[in-house]
Amino acid sequence: MLTQTTIKNRTTVPGVPTGAVKPPKPAPVTFTIPAPPSTNNLFLNKAGKGRVPTAQYLDWKMQAATAIRMQNVQKVAGRVIILIGVERHSSQADIDNRIKGTQDALVKADIIDDDRFVTAAFAFWSPKANHLAHVAIYPCQRMTLTFHPSHDGAKAGHWWLTRHNSKMEKIMPISLADLKQVRADKPPRMLIYGPPGIGKTTLASEFPNAVFLQVEDGTPGDAELTSFGKLGTYGEVVEALAALYEGEHTYKTLVIDSVTEMQKLVYEETCTRGDENGVSYARMEDFPYSKGFMFATTVWQEFIAMLDALRNDRGMAIILIAHSAIQEHKDPELPAYDQHQISLHAPKKGDQGRADHRALFERWLDAVILLKRNVVIKQDDKTGVAAKNDKNTARVRAAGGEVVTMNTVGKPSLNAKNRYGIPATVRYDKGQGFAALAPYLPGFDETETAPLAAVKQKDAA
């Protein structure tokens, strides 16, 4: 059974019969925004003011407008068809409640003339991922929109566009003709972490044409950085990212120093935005049932989306710097043991199912590199009184530590990974770290080095 809706075109060529005009193929405008809130959470009634937008709705429209602007979305004039794919985050949510907010945001961002020009809007759930919405806008022509259900009902059907003087064509079609060879050719997304003073910032500054977003103090004395200065709020970070996205520049690497400190700004922003009812809180711990960390996930996802926009549209490599922590790792097959970990929020014992911000970044990143010193443990036999008073007659002491290594492959004692085939352990010599990694990274080569002024070694004297 076919369900058909005929969409009439208002644009005609004077003096030419309609049937003689072959409309051009619809060119959809596609982009991604944060998932819209439910229609139930868009407005509230206030005494003496009537129906007013909620704080959650106002904040979301601002976030959506920022995402649209950073993706340089072009306006689609006249009548349109809108497709909205929302990454599902709750099995209780209704998909039809996601259309109103999306249309209002498109009008606010001047992407469409008005929601009265929306001839048809289709919303559907897509698999759970980063709580984003993927939007496609088709300009209306004289066409027939036909839905084809699946043969067995086990799969979703397909919408087809029938255009005058043309054959049928799927909306956003996928076929075997779309198969192609792909490779990792985009700039890398990397995280460098380790203990204080080991050289994380210095290593990042070696990447070509690096610009820093400094969220904490701590510029190394032996390096000169290009920076916006210390950024104290999430809004300032967003403004800096927007400036890099929209402005003319030759920077090739964006460094966030550090994402551990950035976490505090994300939490402050989350508390200001509040919960699903727009109620703000002073601290993350004040959110009922620890929901604050789940709301913070949305803010982190916005941040990641902006980094992806710089990587995809401006060709910038993304380097995140983080502090390290020694944390207990629970292995389902072994007793718990300590492990070097990225200092970001992760669920503790008994918190299964709650927001895991560390895992969010680990999945997104192409490489996680731990800087670590080559400490060697030695044991000496105790003698004399020390041996008599101590049942353990061995003295344990640490030695070495002069050599710093870049650890790029995970193992029980540390968290690391890379998608580029970098050796598990690479020696880090100050000023030569990027040169050691460059042969493995897409978009760079070993001949590209940071300007001499960016990594200025101190005089040995």
Look up residue 453 and give its DSSP letter. G
- Asked if the bond preceding 343 is cis, omega within 30° of 0, the reply is no
Q: Per residue of the chain (461 residues), give pLDDT as tens.
A: 333 333 333 333 333 344 444 444 456 788 999 999 988 888 888 888 788 888 888 888 888 888 888 888 888 888 888 999 998 877 788 888 899 999 989 998 889 988 888 888 999 988 877 788 999 998 876 555 556 565 555 555 555 555 544 444 444 555 677 788 878 788 999 999 999 989 999 999 999 999 999 998 877 777 788 999 999 999 899 889 988 988 899 999 999 998 999 999 999 998 988 887 778 899 888 888 778 888 888 889 889 988 988 998 899 999 999 999 998 877 777 888 888 999 988 887 655 446 889 999 999 999 999 999 887 666 666 555 555 555 555 666 666 568 999 999 999 889 999 999 999 999 999 989 999 999 999 877 545 554 433 333 333 33
User: What pLDDT is stored for residue 305 in this prediction?
Assistant: 87
How far is 84 from 325, CA to CA, in rounded Å? 41
User: What pLDDT is stored for residue 409 in this prediction?
Assistant: 94
Closest CA to 393 of 403, 401, 383: 383
Query: Which residues does 221 contact at the CB level (< 8 Å), separation at least 6?
Result: 458
User: What pLDDT is stored for residue 200 in this prediction?
Assistant: 92
The domain ranges of the chain are 3-12+19-177, 189-454
Beta strands 337-342 and 29-34 are unpaired
Whether 297 and 347 have beta carbons less than 8 Å apart is answered as no
Token pair of 2 as six digits? 């076919």
Whether 57 and 67 have beta carbons less than 8 Å apart is answered as no
The class level of CATH for 3-12+19-177 reads alpha beta
Whether 78 and 140 have beta carbons less than 8 Å apart is answered as yes
Whether 213 and 254 have beta carbons less than 8 Å apart is answered as yes
User: What pLDDT is stored for residue 395 in this prediction?
Assistant: 61
φ, ψ for residue 64, nearest 5 deg: -65, -40
| Topology of the domain comprising 189-454 | Rossmann fold (3.40.50)
153-156 long-range contacts, Cβ below 8 Å, gap at least 24?
Answer: 156/124
What residues does 313 pair with on adjacent strands? none
